[in-house]
Structure 1
Amino acid sequence: MAEKNMPYYEFYSKARWDNWISQIKDAGFSLEDEEKAEKNAMIFVNMADDVILSCLKIAARYDKGVTDADGALEILGSIQDIVLEEVPPISEDADIMIMSVQDSLNCSMAAFEAYFLEDYDKKADIKKLIKEAGAAEEKEDMDTAFITVANIGALVIGGAPFDEEFLTILPEESIVAEWLDGIDSIAAAMVGTDSYKNFDEVDDED
C-alpha cells in the first residue's frame, strides 16, 4: 500500500497556485521600474518557496514511513501537474519571471523524485557535482546537467549541507546556476524551519 491510513491532507492545490498568479497580475510586474520590480520580485520567491515547502512535507511523510516511494511520487506528480502547466500570458516581463520559477521548480522537484527513488549517490561531493553540471552545460549536454543538479538536490533533502559559496562556483547567468537557486531554496527552507516535519495531518482548507 502506497500510504498508510492517514487523514487526508491537501499538500498543494491549483487554487493556491492561481492565487500567486493573480498576485503577479495585480502587481503589474515590470522590469523597467527597478524599485517596483525589486519589491514585487518577492512574489516570485514566495510562490516558489510555497511549492518547495509542500514538497518537503511529502518528504517528511516519506521519512516517517507514512508513505512509500510510490505514494510520495504520486503526490509530487499532482503538484508538478499544477505548477509546471503553461501559464496564460500576462506581460513579457511577468511571463519571463514565471517561466524562470517553473524551470527552477522543475529541477527542484526532480530532486525530490530522485530522493524518493533513492536514485542518487549518497556519498557524492556536492562541489564536485556542481562543477560537473557546469561542464555539462558548457558542452550543451543539458540532460546530464539537469540530472546532476537534481542529484545535488536529493543530497540536500537527505541532509547534506548546501553552502552559500556553492552558488558562486558558476556564472550567475548559467542555466545550472538558476537550477541551483532552487536547490538553495530547499536548503534554506530546511534550515529556516522544521515545522514541515510535524505539520498538521488534518486538512482544514476549504
Structure 2
Amino acid sequence: MSDTETEILSHDFYTRERWNNWINQVKESGFEFTESDEPQDKDSAVFINMEDDIILACLKVVAKFEKKLISTESAFHLISQIKDITLAEIEHISDDIDMMISSMQTSFIGTFAAFECYIGQDYNKKARIPTLLKQALEAEASDSIEISLDKVAEIGALIINGRKLPEDIMEDIPYGIVAEWMDGIDSIAAAKVGSDSYKNDEADDES
C-alpha cells in the first residue's frame, strides 16, 4: 500500500458523529406527516440534506478510486464503513420520523449496492436502464429479491459512470422494494447533476 493510500485511509469520509449530528437535526425538526398534500419543504429538507451528505461521502470515495489513489479493496472498505454507520438501527424518536428514517435507510440499500457494483466493475456499460428496471421489477414480482437488488445496483453503477436516468422513469415504478431502492439511485443521479467539487474535496471536510 502506498503512502498516499495509507494517508487517504486515515481520513474520515463519514463518521458516526456526523450521522448523529443529522439525527439530532431530525429530532429538532419535529417532522410530522400531515393529511394535506402540501409538501413540508421546511421540515423534510433535513432528510434530503442528510441523504445528499451521505451520497457525497460515497462519491468522494469513488473519486479517489477513479484517480487510482486507492485500491478496489480499500474503496470497498470505505464504502462499507459508511454503510455500517448509516444502516445501523436508530432508537425510537417518533412514529413519523422513524418511518422517514426507515424509508431512507431502505433506499440506501440500493445506493450502497450501486457503489459496490461500480467499484467492482460488475455491470455491463452498454446495458439499457429501462431493460434493467424491467428485470428488477420482474424479479421482485417472483420474490427474487437478490436479483432485483443486483439489477438496481447495475442501474446505479451506470449512473455513477455518467449515464443519465431516463426522464420520468421514476414515475412509472409501482410501489414496492424496487421503487424504494430506486429512490436511492435517483438521489445519486441528482448528486451527479450538481457540483462535482467533491472530486477534489478532502475526505474529512465537515459540514
- Residue in 2 aligned with 1:74? 77
Aligned match of 2:196: 194
Report what 2:125 is aligned to.
Answer: 122
Deviation at 1:168, TM superposition (A): 2.3
- Cα deviation 1:70-113 (Å, max 9, x = unaligned): 01011111111100000001111111110111111121011101
Partner of 2:183 in structure 1?
181
Contact persistence 2:29–2:46 (CA under 8 A): no
Structure 1: segments with no counterpart, 5+ residues: none
Matching residue's letter, 2:107: S
1:103 matched to 2:106? The reply is: yes
Matches of 1:46 and 1:154 in 2, distance apart? 22
- TM-score normalised by length of structure 2: 0.90
Instruction: Supply the RMSD in Å over aligned alpha carbons.
Output: 2.0
Conservation of the 8 A alpha-carbon contact between 1:133 and 1:145: yes
1-side partners of 2:158 and 2:140: how far apart? Answer: 20
1:165-194 per-position Cα deviation (integer Å, ceiling 9, x unaligned):
2212312x2221221111111111111111
Aligned residues: 204
Question: Given that residues 76 and 116 in structure 2 are in contact (C-alpha distance below 8 angstroms), is that contact kept between their aligned partners in structure 1?
Answer: yes
CA–CA distance in 2 between the matches of 1:42 and 1:17?
A: 16
TM-score (norm 1): 0.91
Query: How far apart are residue 36 of structure 1 and its match?
Result: 7.9
State the distance in 2 between where 1:48 and 1:15 align.
15
Alignment of 1:35-184 (within 5 A): 37-171=40-174, 173-184=175-186
Aligned CA distance change for structure 1 residues 120 and 25 (closer, same or farther; 3 Å): same
Q: Structure 1 residues 33 and 41, CA, compared in 2 at 3 Å: closer, same or farther? A: farther
Which portions of structure 1, spanning 4 or more consecutive aligned residues, are displaced by more than 6 angstroms?
Answer: none
Determine if contact 1:110/1:150 at 8 Å carries over to the other structure. Answer: yes
Percentage of identical aligned residues: 45
Given the alignment of the two structures, is residue 4 of structure 1 paired with residue 10 of structure 2, yes or no? no
Partners of 1:61 and 1:204 lie apart in 2 by: 15
Q: 1:23 aligns with which of 22, 25, 28?
A: 25
SS of the residue aligned with 2:114? Answer: helix
In structure 2, distance between residues paired with 1:188 and 1:102: 18
Partner deviation per Cα, 1:109-140 (whole Å, 9 max, x = no partner) = 11101111111122211111011111112222
Native 8 Å contact 2:110 2:153 kept in 1:
yes
Distance 1:39 1:89 in 2: 22
